[in-house]
Structure 1
Amino acid sequence: MSIFVIGYYAALIAASCLAAYYKKHGAFMLLFSLTLVSFIIGIIGGVPALRAVTTFAGALALAAGTSYAFKEFLILISKPALAKELRTAPLTASFGMFVIFTYAIAAIFAPWIAPHGESEVISSAFAPPDENMLLGADQLGRDIFSRIIYGARNSVGLALVATLLAFFMGAFAGLMAAVKGGWFDQLMGRLADVIMSIPSLIFALLMLSIFGTNLGVIVIVVAVIYSPRVFRLTRAVAGNIVVMDYIEAAKLRGEGDWYLIRREILPNSTAPLVAEFGLEFCFVFLLIAGLSFLGLGIQPPTADWGSMVRENATLISFGDITPLIPAAAIALLTVAVNFVVDWMLFRSSGLKEQ
């Protein structure tokens, strides 16, 4: 039995005993369960399996520590009201906010962070990693690490613009339908039903095949596809508000539709709409990445995570996981946004008061 195995089990058992002594029941259950699972994994997979478990546990511990530190940092720099809300945030939400912050920094400062240009050819095709290229070169000899950094700006930026447009279109239509009612409400509802009845990917492929694949067309097509979702939610939320007594009182005072939307309805429907914005961003982001993977999204030589997976897929046949890095970047951002959205939905649901 190696020193690593002895030290591994000794550390787990010692940590479990300390957690039990200080009556930290949650930590004890976690540590002792890990000890029992490690016995089974060690018998089946041996030392390499235990090293993999140690690496995974260390990564989780690092993520948890980073999330906690980032949460405390946000609390210290925030105003008292916001700091009070942040103290209730779970570590998953803190982790999501940290990931979003990291992606934002990479997107904003991409030209200064990336060691090479977005489409600069600096080596031979599929060159291995060296001191100049952290992740090696792609099929044309461009630095993959630099393209991933620029991909944060292009992929996330395009998805954010498309989400903002879809949200504006859907929310405005939903608010107007709730306030006006009648034929306008019926017309917008049926139009939303028609668009939502068509599978989003098929609709996007059809529109992009007809109108081209420039960035403006992509933004408009994606916004049209996902605005009905925002319309449905906004119409439902606003429909419950427009029947309230204070809305009737505002109408009796002679207030117009814009006043009702801006001063009465929006302030009382902000929480679910903000949560919906996060979910909408995830759907838009994944759709744009899928379109780029199929060759109808962001076009070369512009760096995009979806197209990078397709362009470097050949490396997977040789056991190189480099093409999975942009795919992991897509998945990580999607999970992070969902963590934050889950927390926001929990806050807006009122369950925290129970």
Structure 2
Amino acid sequence: MDYFVLGYYTLLIGASCLAAYYQQRPIFMLLFSITLVSFVMGIIGGKEALWTTTVVAASIGLAAGTSYGFREFLINISGRETQKMLRTAPLTASFGMFIIFTYAIMGIFAPVIAPYGEAEVIGGAFDPPDENMLLGADQLGRDMFSRIVYGARNTVGLALMATGAAFVMGAMAGMLAAVKGGWFDQLMGRTADVIMSVPSLIFALLLLSIFGTNLTVLVVIVAVIYAPRVFRLTRAVAGNVVVMDYIEAAKLRGEGTWYLIRKEILPNSTAPLIAEFGLEFCFVFLLLAGLSFLGLGIQPPTADWGSMVRENATLISFGEITPLIPAAAIALLTVAVNFVVDWMLYRSSGLKT
């Protein structure tokens, strides 16, 4: 038997036994699950499958260690109340916060991090990676690494703008509908139903074909498409708040609509609205990436992850993973935001300890 295989199973079984002896049930379950998976993978794929399993397990361990370290770093630089909240955060939420932090650094300091400009041609079409181009060149000879770094600023930044606009429109309409009631509430509700009845991608393609594809139009269209979703949630949350006694007391004091929204309803609706912002960002981010992939989103030569997948898709036929890198960047950010949102929803649900 190969020494690597023998040492591999010896290490896993020994570590599992130690975890069981010291009654570390989560660690034991993880290690023994890896042992069982490795056993099956070894029978099917041999030594190469064990190497793959080792790399995957090491990557998961590295991610878990990084998440734990980042959580401890945030705890040490935060105030007392925030420290108490962060100590209860699972490693998945810490991993999500670390990825979001990394993307934010890439977007803010893109000109410093990227070795070349986003539209600068420095080589031939589809040149392989070398000492000058970490990920090789695209179809025009531009540095892929630089374009991915700039794509963090352009793609994520545009998604944040569109999500913010949708959130402001939908949240304000929802709180106004809850306070006003009557015909205004019915009108806003039916308008939201009409917009939501049309699939978002088809609606976006239709409006972009009519009004063009400049960035301002893109932000407005995406905001209009996703504002009804925010309206529905905000109306439901604010509807539970406006029936409270302190709202009636404020009305009897003669307080106006803006005061009720700003001082009474919004502070009592913050937690679910913040979680909804994260979910809406994921939807908007994926929609913008899809539109760019179809050619109706962010236009060349501006770096955008969706269009980068389309432009370099021919490399997949030659066994190259270059087009998968911007796709992986899109997927990683979406998963990271969902990890953080899941934790926030758990906290706001009243299940926290």
**Where do residues 132-211 of structure 1 align in structure 2 (5 Å cutoff)?**
132-211=132-211
Q: Which residue of 1 aligns with 2:273?
A: 273
CA shift digits 1:223-257 (9 cap, x unpaired):
00000000000000000100011100110111111
Name the structure 1 match of 2:348.
348
**Separation in 1, partners of 2:152, 2:47:** 37
The residue that corresponds to 1:108 in the other structure is 108
Summarize deviations over 1:49-74 as a string: whole Å, max 9, x none. 00000000000000000000000000
Q: Distance in 1 between matches of 2:129 and 2:278?
A: 36
Task: Find the aligned partners of 1:163 and 1:32 in 2 and give their Cα distance.
Answer: 43
Post-superposition CA distance 1:202-230 (Å, at most 9, x none): 11001111111000000000000000000
CA distance in 1, matches of 2:246, 2:78: 33
Q: Distance in 1 between matches of 2:147 and 2:3?
A: 42
Q: Figure out how many residues of one structure are paired with residues of the other and give that number.
A: 353
> Paired residue for 1:26?
26
Give the Å deviation of 1:10.
1.3
CA separation in 2, counterparts of 1:100 and 1:36?
34
Match of 1:337 in 2: 337
Q: How does 1:18-167 map to 2 (within 5 A)?
A: 18-167=18-167
Q: CA RMSD in A?
A: 0.7
Report deviation, 1:18: 1.0
User: How much identity, in percent, do the aligned residues show?
Assistant: 80
CA distance in 2, matches of 1:6, 1:218: 58
For the residues of structure 2 that align with 1:30 and 1:70, how far apart are their CA atoms? Answer: 22
User: What secondary structure sits across from 2:303 in the alignment?
Assistant: coil
- Distance in 1 separating the partners of 2:190 and 2:168: 19
What are the Cα deviations for residues 88-137 of structure 1, in whole angstroms up to 9, with x where unaligned?
00000000000000000000000000111100000000001100001100
- The residue number in structure 1 matching 2:15 is 15
> How far did residue 78 of structure 1 move?
0.5
Kindly state the Cα deviation for residue 43 of structure 1 after the two structures are TM-superposed: 1.4
Which segment drifts farther, 329-338 or 4-13? 4-13
Matched, 1:318 2:324: no
Q: What is the deviation of 1:152?
A: 0.2
Look up the equivalent residue of 2:209 and give its one-letter code: S
Task: Tell me how far 1:141 sits from its aligned partner.
Answer: 0.3
Measure the CA separation in 2 of the matches of 1:320 and 1:14. 39
Gaps of 5+ in 2: none
- Secondary structure of 1:154's match? helix
Letter of the structure 2 residue corresponding to residue 343 of structure 1: W
Other-structure match for 2:218: 218
1:91 partner letter: L
Q: Deviations over 1:132-167 (max 9, x none)?
A: 001100000000011000000000000000000000
Report the CA distance between 1:183 and its aligned residue: 1.1
C-alpha deviations, 1:22-62, integer Å up to 9, x for none? Answer: 11112112212221221121111111000000000000000
Point out the more displaced range, 34-43 or 186-195: 34-43
CA distance in 2, matches of 1:40, 1:129: 36
- What's the TM-score once normalised by structure 1's chain length? 0.99
Distance of 1:9 and 1:107 partners within structure 2: 43
Q: Give 2:273's aligned amino acid.
A: L
Q: After superposing the two structures, state which structure 1 stretch, 119-128 or 25-34, moved more.
A: 25-34
CA distance, structure 2, for counterparts of residue 238 and residue 44 of structure 1: 56
CA shift digits 1:71-92 (9 cap, x unpaired): 0000000010011000000000
C-alpha deviation, 1:2, in angstroms: 2.0
| Distance across 2 between alignment mates of 1:154 and 1:34 | 40
Q: Give the match's secondary structure for 2:216.
A: helix
| CA positional deviation for 1:270 | 0.3
1:227-242 to structure 2, matched below 5 A, reads 227-242=227-242
For 2:299 and 2:130, the matched residues in 1 are separated by 28
Distance 1:215 1:101 in 2: 25
* Structure 1 gaps, min length 5: none
Inter-partner Cα distance in structure 2 for 1:34 and 1:127: 39
